[in-house]
């Protein structure tokens, strides 16, 4: 089947001529993101702040909009609703109330009075600060382990220069995603952590496609200057990059506007991450190979050590 090519054959965009400007911009953006994170912080959701979890089952299918408005009128702070399983099952999350366990019990009682009779309560739990702290630690560890595993994979699949370049690009994407959440004040919860891990997977996939073409061209054009070779590789993969990013963004934008409040933060993180991930694959991951002095001799030496690779 013939691949759709939206970029005209022979297109030669000189990406490497913008690499210094792009790296300066990215460095400033990362510094600003860290600065906002340290000064303003994140708007942590109930998952990370602690709060009350109430699982209910209603006699009839539940409309989340009116139910959310009803519970927001109780003055209990942030209230999040999530439908799961059956359309009569709803998970209610309420932010941690000021005071001791008695204050949390009063909030639960207020919810029960608002919902009235006919609602069965399948689970009522209180997520304390200790549990929320463990969730933050687990989320950070998940991101770090994912980055480490990807570094090892790229290092094994290519060379150490490719591994370092890929992980620096991934770290760039994660830092900017956390920074934009701090700036705009969107809720940062476990769904956002899942989005960051998904962004990492998307970004590394895009980077691997570029790196694979770079390695192929290193074997084919042994005397070509590295900057020119990187431009050639990026132009070769540009059609695939644009098609993948645009189609993914279309789906995510629809989710952001019509997917409901529950996944708004997730879809926003994904939209931002896909955009930044595409940018970093072109202007961070590829140019770093120049600064780490990658040469075609690296590939030739590896082929000499491994004849099976050379003949494949």
- Tell whether 168 is covered by a domain: yes
Last residue of a domain, one of 78, 97, 127: 127
171 and 199 Cβ atoms separated by less than 8 Å: no
- Tell whether 182 is covered by a domain: yes
CA angle (174 as vertex; 173, 176 as ends), nearest 5:
65
Last residue of a domain, one of 101, 127, 153: 127
Q: Is 116 in the same domain as 243?
A: no
Last residue of a domain, one of 95, 110, 127: 127
Total domain count, the chain: 2
Q: Is 119 in the same domain as 138?
A: no
Q: Is 136 in the same domain as 264?
A: yes
CATH code for the domain of 57: 3.30.70.3400
CATH code for the domain of 183: 1.20.1640.10
- Tell whether 8 is covered by a domain: no
pTM of the entire structure?
0.75
- Tell whether 9 is covered by a domain: no
Checking 6-9 for CB contacts under 8 A at 24+ apart, the result is 6/239, 6/242, 6/243, 7/235, 7/238, 7/239, 7/242
Q: Each residue of 96-154: pLDDT tens digit?
A: 787 777 888 888 888 888 888 788 888 887 776 656 667 778 777 887 887 788 778 77
- Tell whether 232 is covered by a domain: yes
Q: Which residues form the domain of 76?
A: 51-127
Q: Is 257 in the same domain as 122?
A: no
62 and 83 Cβ atoms separated by less than 8 Å: yes
* Whether pLDDT at 225 is above 60: yes
Q: Each residue of 24-78: pLDDT tens digit?
A: 999 999 999 999 999 998 888 777 777 888 888 888 888 888 888 888 888 888 7
| pLDDT grade for 249, boundaries at 50, 70 and 90 | very high
Q: Is 68 in the same domain as 194?
A: no
Q: Is 80 in the same domain as 96?
A: yes
Q: Each residue of 157-210: pLDDT tens digit?
A: 777 888 888 889 988 998 999 999 999 988 888 788 888 888 888 888 888 888
């Amino acid at each position: 089947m013939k691949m759709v090519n939206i970029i005209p054959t022979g297109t030669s965009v000189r990406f490497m001529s913008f690499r210094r400007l792009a790296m300066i911009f990215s460095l400033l953006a990362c510094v600003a993101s860290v600065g906002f994170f340290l000064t303003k912080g994140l708007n942590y959701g109930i998952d990370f702040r602690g709060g009350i979890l109430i699982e209910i089952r209603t006699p009839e299918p539940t409309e989340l909009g009116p139910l959310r408005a009803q519970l927001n009128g109780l003055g209990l702070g942030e209230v999040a609703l999530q439908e799961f399983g059956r359309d009569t099952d709803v998970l209610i999350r309420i932010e941690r109330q000021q005071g001791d366990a008695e204050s949390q019990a009063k909030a639960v009682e207020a919810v029960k009075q608002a919902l009235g009779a006919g609602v069965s309560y399948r689970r009522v739990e209180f997520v304390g600060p200790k549990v929320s702290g463990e969730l933050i630690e687990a989320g950070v560890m998940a991101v770090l382990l994912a980055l480490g595993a990807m570094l090892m994979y790229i290092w094994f699949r290519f060379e150490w220069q490719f591994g370092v370049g890929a992980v620096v690009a991934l770290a760039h994407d994660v830092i900017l995603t956390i920074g934009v959440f701090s700036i705009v004040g969107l809720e940062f919860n476990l769904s956002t952590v899942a989005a960051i891990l998904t962004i990492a997977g998307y970004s590394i996939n895009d980077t691997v496609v570029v790196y694979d073409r770079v390695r192929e061209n290193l074997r084919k054009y042994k005397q070509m200057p590295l900057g020119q070779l990187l431009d050639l590789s990026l132009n070769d993969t540009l059609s695939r990059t644009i098609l993948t990013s645009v189609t993914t963004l279309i789906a995510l934008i629809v989710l952001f506007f019509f997917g409901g409040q529950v996944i708004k933060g997730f879809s926003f993180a994904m939209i931002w991450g896909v955009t930044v991930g595409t940018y970093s694959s072109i202007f961070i991951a590829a140019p770093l190979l120049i600064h780490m002095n990658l040469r075609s001799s690296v590939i030739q030496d590896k082929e000499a050590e491994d004849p099976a690779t050379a003949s494949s």
